[in-house]
Amino acid sequence: MGPAERCVDFGPSGQLWFPYLAKYAGFTHPILFCISVADCLLGNKPLGKKAQYHLGETLVFINQRLSDNTTALHDSTIFVVLALIDFSAYLRDYKTAMVHLKGLGEMVRLRGGIDNFRYLPRLYTKLGRLDLIQALYSGNKPVFLVDTTSCPRISEDVDFWSAHGGTSLPQSAGNLGLKNEVLLAAFTDLRQLSEVLNTKTASCRRLDVAVFQARVCSIQYRLLWLQGTLDDCLAECLRLAMLAFLATTFHVPLAVAQYPYLANHYRESCAAMGARNLENLPLWFLMVGALSVFGVEDAWLQERWRAEVPPQLAWDEARLQLRDIMWIDTIHNQPGERVFQILKCGRVEGAHRSTSRSKLWVGGWVGTTYELY
């Protein structure tokens, strides 16, 4: 389930594919389609006849299940739709991926909403991640939630922090001059969650996935529904940076994602801030941007780095400054130090091999469907 597994306990993946295979022969086609696509991508080959055949049979199979009221909303049907979304994205057919995602959104709505999938933590996590990915990619509103009433503020949950080691909570962000209470609450909550994860991993423990994902969804959907409501460019930049920060928990840092909406608006918001006394925030904005959005080879990022980051700043001091905002040590320290040293030294030519995407990395639509259960 990505880098978050280092600090979050997702539990055993289970093998629900196998009972489905035993009961429904049609489930062989989605699996064989996935294998065929992976083989084509790894071999840098066009989609072959075998893959096309299994895709056609998969579409026939899924349409049969959707037309039957007893199977239309079953977990197994949702599972196959997720696989279609992933592999449409792998083939860079984002239009088809969005069509499948829209249909999935209706299925989830008819099931009572995303929160009704908490009994399957990996599926619940995947749904939340997909919604974040499509929003960062397109700028569209969330697919699975229509409001945030089911996402209470986690800062109100005092027992959660005392039970999970959050004894030293971060201070409020009020000194930034931000006025939007929803944004401030989300900022405080994400800092708190980061601190709890650091506290857990420092003692060789991990946070339960149900607790983690409920808090992530709470923060994520509040931030997504703030889109278009913030007049201050600093507030908008902070909103986008927190969404990018959340994305680092499930994609491999330095395998830079393709989020056109996020990248364009991130640049615009940062540029519009002008000269302000923001203490450690500019460094944090640039580091999160390098890890999740742009990569170290981005010319705009390099220019902003030279303008904002003192050349004498060392990594140990920089890490403390980043933790003062929010930083998850076990996820961000290693790739963060690499990014920092590359940008500080100005040597980005040799960084391409270690920071570019693999053949199976297509934007933010990284597929982990086979691990869901």
**In the chain, domain spans:** 3-114, 247-373
Q: What is the pLDDT of residue 340?
A: 95
At 284, the amino acid letter reads: W
Please say if the pLDDT value at position 172 is more than 60.
no
Q: What is the pLDDT of residue 251?
A: 67
Please say if the pLDDT value at position 329 is more than 90.
yes
Please say if the pLDDT value at position 362 is more than 60.
no
How sure is the predictor about 211, in pLDDT bands with cuts at 50, 70 and 90?
confident
**Close Cβ partners of 180 (under 8 Å, ≥ 6 residues apart):** 226, 229, 230, 232, 235
Please say if the pLDDT value at position 298 is more than 60.
yes
- Determine what percent of the chain is predicted with pLDDT higher than 70: 77
Q: Which of 54-58, 107-111, 324-328 has the lowest mean pLDDT?
A: 54-58
Q: What is the mean pLDDT of residues 123-143?
A: 90
Q: How far is CA 337 from CA 283, 298, 314, 318, 352, in A?
A: 13, 17, 10, 9, 16
Tell which residue, 373, 368, 295, 363, has the closest CA to residue 90.
Answer: 363
Q: Are 238 and 326 in contact (CB under 8 A)?
A: no
Q: Which residue has the higher pLDDT, 207 or 256?
A: 207
- The tens digit of pLDDT for each residue in 67-88 reads 999 889 988 889 889 888 888 8
Count Cα atoms within 13 angstroms, Cβ side, for 146.
6
Q: Which residue has the higher pLDDT, 199 or 15?
A: 199
Beta strand residue intervals within 79-148, DSSP E: none
Q: Are 236 and 230 in contact (CB under 8 A)?
A: yes
Inter-helix orientation angle 209-224/181-202, to 10°: 160
Q: What is the pLDDT of residue 7?
A: 80
Please say if the pLDDT value at position 342 is more than 80.
yes
Q: What is the mean pLDDT of residues 129-153?
A: 79
Q: What is the pLDDT of residue 310?
A: 92
- In degrees and rounded to multiples of 5, residue 9 shows phi and psi of -90, 105
Q: Whole-number mean pLDDT of the chain?
A: 81
